[in-house]
Amino acid sequence: MKCSLFLLISIFANMAIAQKSYPTMGKIIYEDPAFEKLLPKDSKIEVLASGFEWSEGPVWVKDGEYLLFSDVPKNKVYKWEEKTGLSVFLEPSGYTGLGVYSDEPGSNGLIIDSKGRLVSCEHGDRRISAMPLNIGGKITLADNYEGKRFNSPNDVVEHTNGSYYFTDPPYGLMKKHEDPTRELPYFGVYRIAKDGKVSLQVDNLTRPNGLAFSPDGKTLYVAQSDPEKAIWMSYPLDADGNAGKGTLLYDATFMLKKGFNGLPDGLKIDKDGNLWSSGPGGMIILSPAGKLLGRIEMGELTSNCAWGNEGSTLYMTVDGYVCRVKTNTKGAGW
């Protein structure tokens, strides 16, 4: 009888979780008929948690089935899971110094690397760090280029060859691009090789931000969050992983002139090479050729996104919210 009762309780508990209802927000705009194959017209954008100052850097932890994300101004990483909801995972997340550093001192972009570590872009400590999830304790992967400290690492990705690429705009500095503690003359895109050597890959972007690889790993996409030139760039990678000459993939500056709020920021790639990126109005979805397929209008500034669950759920950090929408595709390499 005890076993039967326990079984019934488990069944009802699982049913309650499966039937849990979340508030919704936003709307989906279909710019091209092909977008309906990726995101059905009855899709709902669920709000999972709220009350954050600026949510960023979502990443899904497969071994544990939960979401991690940054609240950059609060210097925290939060954990969200379906069964238990929200909790603080890591504090401090990106600044371990004394006193007030800036209005964005915490971690920004996060990934789980091939070694199962949480890799963080840390604004305040101006570095890329790695931390085992099960035991904690960070190591620095890189904190300078040719002896000069980074500005404020923003977003990071790992290539299948084991190297990391990251962007370094000024957003974490107290006075941004005019901050007197700046040591580098540009806002670069960098690569950390497997041997730890740091190389500058792109030095001519004004505000490099989110980045991602094509499914075959031969192309690097970089979003630029400059209101004067709100664009996504495409860079071919050679056999050694070095970026070649960039080409313009899509220019969304006209959307800003139409009154849309937000800039190109964090992005992810699906299995067919489509780009899902935060941008003017919310989320922008582009084909590999740079064709606008659709938009997800969120009504709030949208910072980043990540694939989760079985690979077809897109999690989004939207100003003070964390949201998700179920798609008909999957993340690249899922």
Burial 125-150 (b: 16+ CB within 10 A, else e): bbbbbbbeeeeeebeebbeebeeebb
Phi then psi for residue 241, to 5 deg, are 90, 10
Between CA 174 and CA 155 the distance in angstroms is 19
Give me the catalytic one of 168, 265, 270, 272.
Answer: 265
Give 314's contacts (C-beta < 8 A, 6+ positions apart).
268, 276, 305, 306, 307, 308, 324, 325, 326, 327
- Annotated active-site residue 272? The verdict is no
Assigned token pair, 33:
């008929």
Query: Is 154 marked as a binding-site residue?
Result: yes
158-193 exposure pattern, b = at least 16 Cβ within 10 A, e = fewer: bbeeebbbbbbbbbbbeebeeeeebebeebbbbbbe
> Based on the number of CB atoms within 10 Å of its own CB, is 194 exposed (0-12), middle (13-18) or buried (19 or more)?
exposed
Query: Alpha-carbon Rg of the chain, whole angstroms?
Result: 20
| Residue 209, annotated as binding a ligand | yes
Q: How many other C-beta atoms can be found within 10 angstroms of the C-beta atom of residue 329?
A: 19
134 is in an annotated binding site: no
Binding site residues for a divalent metal cation, as ranges? 56, 154, 209, 265
**Which residues form the catalytic set?**
265
